[in-house]
Amino acid sequence: MKILVINTGSSSIKYELFDVDNHKILAGGMAEKIGEESGILTHKRILPNGESSEEVEEGLISDHHEGLNRIVALLVDPVNGVIADKGEISAIGHRVVHGGEAFHSTVIIDDEVIAAVKENISLAPLHNPPNLTGIEVAGSIFPDAQQVAVFDTAFHQTIPMRAFLYAIPYEMYARHKVRRYGFHGTSHAYVSEQAAEYFGRPLGELNLITIHLGNGASMAAIQAGKCVDTTMGMTPLAGLVMGTRSGDVDPALPFFLADNLGMTPKDIDNILNKESGLKGMCGTNDMREVIEKKDEGDEQAEIALEVYSYRIKKYIGAYFAVLESLDGLVFTAGIGENAPYIRELSCKGLNRLGIEIDPERNNRAGNGIREINPPGSEVKVLVIPTNEELKIARETKRVIESKIKARIFT
């Protein structure tokens, strides 16, 4: 079964084509700056020997329909394509950011699903509309393929009310669904499943803390295989310090900025989401550059790293208290997988909780799952590469096969 996974942004389409039966990635890439004069389409195909070949096209990509058509043209190109025709693609797996309370798992897209995603636009105004555009465009280009939605929020729908309810008038939740939702759910789900495989135990027997550290960052407390708390909230702004997002701040801060600095709601939103975090503290949101600046003696960079890791450490302690016992701590995503200094700083002094890091193991480069705690440690500290696109492809295959089985036995 060949499944095309797409993640549609307001001016981009990120994609990967999987042959899921043979556990292969066939091609992937991104169309960027859609609707702008300087559009870019980067396409990478995986060769039979495992190496890759990359092509870059520049020029106007007028809209998402043209962007996806050009992606399809590259996939079926007679000389360099990876499939004979688009009919080989059985399904399209769509990343949809916000499913609200309507979706607890992956679903096959129909009119009711589309209507529910539209109802949640107010919760994700920057993400759900382009996700819907991707569904519409893919449906027109692949009329015979199953369209499937995988929601960022679904994994966190097991969080109990005591963890997701804000202490504001209850009517805000009852009428307007104001609550903690959480994001990066596909990544947290994937690495927790990988951790269970590494442990050689069912996920339902494990207590884990998963730490997704990219430009966006979040953590999840997983008890007996189910998410019971997460750092992001109603929006992705809450929780950890991120590349450009502030994470947790005093809720009265926006009022202070408005009253004392004359900022508008739009100004405040821009500062907290796009000009804060690492960028706001030391001038760059690239963790590699922040660490380089720290190594060169930049005091602001050093402070930024301390604030960043302190917030992670604080949530580790909080989630340990929530879980009461811990089997594994998992670092993932770009920073989590590639910044040993951040892992070391975030776990420093937690040995009383059974959490320790072996410096040699931590600094050793490697691929796949790595254990970075000393031998015999009470809690395993793991580095697990995330793969959200693969998780979406697997989820897409699962729901389609479940639907087929349901038809057979009814």
152 labelled catalytic: yes
- In a 10 Å sphere around its CB, with 0-12 CB exposed, 13-18 middle and 19+ buried, how is residue 48 labelled? exposed
Residues 6+ apart with CB under 8 A from 179: 164, 165, 166, 173, 234
The first and second tokens of residue 2, run together, are 């060949």
Q: Which of 21, 152, 250, 267 is catalytic?
A: 152
State the DSSP H helix or E strand holding residue 281, giving kind and residue range, or none if neither. helix 277-282
- Would you put residue 391 in left (φ > 0), alpha (ψ -120 to 50) or beta? alpha
The first and second tokens of residue 83, run together, are 């499939």
> Could you give the CA distance from residue 275 to residue 265 in angstroms, rounded to a whole number?
14
Radius of gyration, CA atoms only, the chain: 22
The edge-to-edge listing of strands for the beta sheet with 89-96 is 52-58, 40-46, 24-32, 12-19, 2-9, 89-96, 146-151, 107-108
The CA angle 209-214-218, to the nearest 5 degrees, is: 35
Positions annotated as catalytic residues are: 152
